[in-house]
Amino acid sequence: MTCNPLGHAARRSLGVVVALCLLATEPATAQPPAPTVNDLVYAKTVSDSGEPIELHLDLWMPLDRSARPRPLVIWVHGGAWLAGSYNAPPPGLRQLLRRGFAVASVQYRLSSQAIAPAQIHDIKGAVRFLRANAARRQLDPERFAVWGASAGGHLAALLATSGGVAESEGDVGGNVDQPSGVQAAVDYFGPTDLLRMQTDVADPPGSAIDHDAPDSPESKLLGFTGPGRGVGVLREAADSRLTEFASEIALAKLMNPIEHVDAHDPPIFIAHGEDDNVVPIEQSVRLAQKLAEAGVPHELQRVAGAGHGFRAMSADVNSAAVDFLAERIGPATQKRRQADAGSAE
């Protein structure tokens, strides 16, 4: 989740907000390799106003063409659910390709096009499409991972934790016979409890956004905007057990990764800057605590001195995230699986 240039706090410091938005979505390399498959349509859907929308993805295949089928990392871009693009190559793309991963960057409907749960429906639709076409694209359908930053981190964590939650599935793109789950996930500084964003703000570092405001990114994602509305109103109603906004509160909880954590979730790597003034680090702490309680393998990297954005993460943290994925879905896991299958015969 990056910044909303129309929010109350954003109007006070527009230059800082725009810089943070760019930082969270900016690719880490100036000249990344071109996609192996560019602008592939994975689904046709509509906006909330009924306008037709095609959803696309870009696919990169690893540099080592000998090891097949390949594990896949699905990249989900940030941008406050308001901006960003699948066309911006994922940060760390070269490192993933060198390690033998295929990488897919997927498009999802922005909150200006459709409110939640459209975004998670789209991401799950992309997973099902890629799994249905795994043989054609030389992908291993049993070794899928997701990696997202900011708003993309939120959706990555939600994808990883919401397996079996019918309301989160949708039918975008069809292929409903295919599972939408993944075998590992990486969440970089993503929101995990939309109703607690403002109350999780610590001072320092403070917050560049009034998350409770009716024009905040979270309020727009939930479609709860306008006078007398906003996420803060929903939190107060939820805490007071009021029923006036029951459906909106239920939607917020549906979109909260921490609501769905259970022992069946895949391993999750979490990284968050301790000086992040856009998404409070307590959001990642909340998720790590839930994962620990459920016994889900996970790792939380608190990055001292780091603010919001992929470039705020150190090279060591980024390498640790890739190592985390390699241990769980990388080429070595395929060899172990083949060896286990051979010994069982």
Nearest to 252 by CA among 120, 112, 149, 126: 120
Identify the CATH number of the domain defined by range 8-344.
3.40.50.1820
Q: Is the pTM of this model over 0.85?
A: yes
φ/ψ of residue 197, rounded to 5:
-60, -50
Question: Domain residue spans in the chain?
Answer: 8-344
Amino acid identity for residue 225 in this structure? T
| pLDDT given for residue 30 in this prediction | 55
pLDDT in tens, 270-297: 999 999 999 999 999 999 999 999 999 9
pLDDT in tens, 118-147: 999 999 999 999 999 999 999 999 999 999
Instruction: Kindly state the average pLDDT of the residues 221-243.
Output: 95
| pLDDT given for residue 314 in this prediction | 86
Average pLDDT value over all residues in the chain: 89
pLDDT in tens, 75-92: 999 999 999 999 988 888
Asked if 35 and 60 touch (Cβ cutoff 8 Å), the reply is yes
Beta strands in the chain (DSSP E): 37-46, 52-60, 70-76, 102-106, 139-149, 184-188, 268-273, 298-303
- What percent of the chain shows pLDDT beyond 70? 87
User: CA-CA distance, 133 to 114, in Å (whole number)?
Assistant: 27
Cα 326–chain centre separation: 19
Instruction: Kindly state the average pLDDT of the residues 241-251.
Output: 93
